[in-house]
Amino acid sequence: MVFLKGIIFFILCINYNPMVANFVDYNHKDYYQHQEQVEWWKDYENLPRETGTIATNVSEAIQYEEWINEPMETVINRLTNYYGEPLLEEISNAVSDFKQVPTDWHYSYKVDNVYLLQESDEKTIIIAEISELLVDKVVGKGLALITLDNNYKIVEQVFRWEY
């Protein structure tokens, strides 16, 4: 079931990866600067909260559930609003593969909070708190480390569940 959850969650626009992020260029003030392995989920609540365009785009991307019933052309058009390459092609292919197999998928995802880790002219890095819902009951919690390009499209993402 955990394996299936991971695959399905990836298809819902998220790479399931419970490992530590290997990013050397994340820095928020001096705390995160130039570490080989950043334990990005620690002390994230102390970061500034993001409530504007970035938070809205990330929330819409993660909470987008209509893809399961929409035609692929519509899905791809919608995904291009949220994702940039190389992640866009990866997710589009995963959705296409998933839609070819019958399923009784009932999970949905909600972004609870978005925290700003780093912002520059080239990219923005945020941490998002995510709830996994079955019907309207929270069945899991996770954190996402998400990199957006200068157009605020998601280009990288790493997730840690049950933090």
The pLDDT tens digits along the chain (163 residues) read 443 344 444 444 333 333 223 332 333 333 343 333 457 777 888 899 999 999 999 999 999 999 989 999 999 999 999 999 999 999 999 999 998 988 877 889 999 999 999 999 999 999 999 999 998 899 999 999 999 999 999 999 999 988 6
The distance in angstroms from the start CA to the end CA of the chain is 19
Closest CA to 47 of 104, 122, 124: 124
Give the helix/strand (H/E) hosting 117: strand 107-119
Domain containing 69 equals: 2-161
Residue 80 belongs to a domain with what CATH number? 3.10.450
pTM, two decimal places = 0.74
Contact 21, 40 (CB under 8 A): yes
Radius of gyration of the chain (CA): 15
Based on the structure, what is the number of domains in the chain? 1
